[in-house]
A and B are shown apart, each in its own frame.
Chain A
Amino acid sequence: MTIKLVKENMKHRPMRSLLSALLIGVPVTLILCLVGLSHGMVDENNRRTQGIGADIIVRPTGSTMLSLSGGMDERVVGFLAKQPHVAMAMGVVNQAVEGITLGATGIDLDQFNRMSGGFNYLEGGPFRGADDVIVDQYYAEQKHLHVGSTVNILNRDWRVSGIIESGKLTRIALPLRILQERTSNLGKVSQIYLKLDNSSLTNDVVKDLKGLLKDYPIYSVADWTSLFNVNNIPGLQPFTVVIMVIGIVIGFLVVYLSMYMAVLQRTREIGILKSLGASNAFILGIILTEALMLGLGGTLLGIGMSYGAYWLIRTLVPASFPLVIVYSWWPIACGITLAGAGLGALYPGFSAARHDPIEALAYE
């Protein structure tokens, strides 16, 4: 009967119910998009790293998960190439193009082809000139590029020589020497990838290399991709917590206002229920149930809106924001919303339960 009362109350004021649920849904969408973006970035980065075909990554001294500091002397590449079991060493230059979500990579295409087996070209082919760029399908889609198109990257125009299938190293590949020149990094590389003659020796080689290059962060690709997750990205967890708290606060405020108004509008009905023998707990239960139903509706709308955001981002900026749907966060977002909704309904609920039945019955 409580559910029926709540359902009929919500149906009686459909616009209020819908708007409340929509407002509750907004932070749900924010949370799911933020989580989807961070997971998408990590997944995409790891997928591209694994697509290189390397066994070991050597990063500059002082680098962190997200930053690469000032780079390494390019001669380190040659040094590493001579180490036992190292079949091949490839240095690359990374350069941010749009914040931390989109970067360009300078590569020696011949080396890259030997290490990874080469790009899978959907259109066009390798660099043919110093001003050529290879982009992946998502960047091409985002910028509406085709082979022969001109695109401005790092304040200069480049000619698209090839469009590749996404999933290997980078979204934007530039000739290594040209990018070193343009970024004043001549003789320097940002990362070095090593391919071994026997992948089963990776951990041993990593250990040996750490002995030789004491201050350099050196990882096996397997370790690096497992380390590069959302829990290890500096600042991401506190940011997510802040967004979750905002979600709870918005849910609390929306439900508080909505239920406060509802209690005012239904004062007489509360009096009627009390005259029929409804206890304070029953009245509180009605208000809490309605709030939780609004919270649940808001969560569903929020999930729906996150799909809308997913579609919009995938359509407009698929390369810049690799958003994914993270199903495991649906119950978390739901819990956050219900917590906010439940808290928001407490005061109006207790206020309704404490109504004097005679005054409530006289309320017009």
Chain B
Amino acid sequence: MNEGQAIIEVRELRKIYRVGDVDVAALRGLDLDVLPAEFLSIVGPSGSGKSTLFHIIGGLAPPTSGRVRVADGDLATMTEAGRTRLRRRTVSFVFQKFNLLPNLTARDNIAVARHLAGLELKPDAQFEEVVRLLGIARRLDHKPNALSGGEQQRVAIARAIVNHPAILLADEPTGNLDTENSKAVLEVLRDLNERLGQTILMITHNPEAAAYGHRTVHMRDGRIVDGD
């Protein structure tokens, strides 16, 4: 990938879901470019297609039409196995509901991501660095139900970045957190972006949270309607 070239390039992206006998258009010809190391906030009302866009960029769902290039991979032509590989090393998710595996400790939740990426399970410098950055070293042996919401989200972020993915997709990462924990998580994301050059796309309803990004795009009815 050349310097200055977009790490995510979306052109005329359309996604149509079949609900019963009805076709529902979630994305209607969306165009978007995201540069490496950019922190992009995406805002918009419910049903505007934000999460669908994330699912496609993250390889969880194929596009109906259009072109989606993520870190030199063309998602429109990628097989399911290819999209699975993409999720292992290139793109990772942070969800509103944390989505930690409830039966595993924080350490093992992070280790799962490393295992799936084919990395060593034993803690290494990469693991230690992430744990230190997120301040969760003392909570690693606890299961999610013994962690606060803020701690769970930090573990989820650790899991998402432990393999050094090119792109981090954060879908309302502060949606289930109080103000203090929201701020802490947003600071972590900004820190990751500034110190590690992590490309981050963040969906949020909160204008204050959106302000943490370098730029904000607004979505409505499956399209980007405004961007600064």
Contact = CB atoms under 8 A, between A and B. Distances in A.
Do chains A and B stick together as partners? yes
B103 A11 contact: yes
What's the interface size class on A, roughly? 20 to 34
Interface stretch (A2-10, A56-64, A172-180, A334-342): A2-10
B99 A1 contact: no
Contact of B103 (A1, A8, A268): A8
Contacts of A277: 84-89, 113, 116-117
Interface in B160-219: none
Interface string A269-301: 101111111110010000000000000000000
A217 interface: no
A272 B87 contact: no
B87 A1 contact: no
B88 A276 contact: yes
B84 A12 contact: no
B58 interface: yes
B104 interface: yes
A272 B103 contact: no
Interface residues of B, number: 29
Contacts of B85: 277
Contacts of B20: none
B115 interface: yes
B78 to A, nearest CB: 13
B58 A275 contact: yes
B116 A276 contact: yes
Contacts of A272: 99-101
A4 B103 CA distance: 10
A1 B112 contact: yes
Interface in A1-44: 1, 4-5, 8-9, 11-12
Interface in B53-105: 55, 58, 60-61, 81, 84-89, 92-93, 95, 99-104
A357 interface: yes
Given A4-B108, A5-B112, A269-B102, A276 B95 contact: no
Contact of A273 (B102, B111, B112): B112
Contacts of A9: 103
B121 interface: yes
Contacts of B60: 274-275, 357-358, 361
A269 B95 CA distance: 13
B117 to A, nearest CB: 7
A317 B17 CA distance: 69
A12 B61 contact: no
B159 interface: yes
B51 to A, nearest CB: 9
A353 to B, nearest CB: 11
A276 B103 contact: no
B104 A276 contact: no
A191 B112 CA distance: 72
B111 A276 contact: no
Nearest to A278: B116
A8 B84 CA distance: 24
B87 A358 contact: no
Contact of B101 (A269, A282, A357, A361): A269
Nearest to A6: B103
A188 B55 CA distance: 90
Contact of A1 (B89, B93, B121, B159): B121
B87 A361 contact: no
Given A358-B60, A358-B61, A276 B102 contact: no
A278 B95 CA distance: 17
Contacts of B81: 279
B112 A276 contact: yes
Interface in B104-163: 104, 108, 111-113, 115-117, 121, 159
Contacts of B112: 1, 5, 273, 276
B59 to A, nearest CB: 9
A276 B58 contact: no
Nearest to A10: B103
B156 to A, nearest CB: 10
Given A275-B58, A277-B88, 16 more contacts: A4-B108, A8-B103, A9-B103, A12-B102, A269-B101, A273-B101, A274-B60, A274-B84, A275-B95, A276-B113, A277-B85, A357-B60, A358-B55, A358-B60, A358-B61, A361-B95
Interface of B: 55, 58, 60-61, 81, 84-89, 92-93, 95, 99-104, 108, 111-113, 115-117, 121, 159
22 contacts: A1-B111, A4-B104, A4-B108, A5-B103, A5-B112, A8-B103, A8-B104, A269-B102, A271-B99, A272-B101, A273-B112, A274-B84, A274-B87, A275-B60, A275-B93, A275-B99, A276-B88, A276-B112, A279-B81, A282-B116, A358-B60, A358-B61
Instruction: Give 5 closest A-B pairs by Cβ, nearest first.
Output: A277-B88, A277-B87, A8-B103, A1-B115, A12-B103
Interface of A: 1, 4-5, 8-9, 11-12, 268-269, 271-279, 282, 357-358, 361
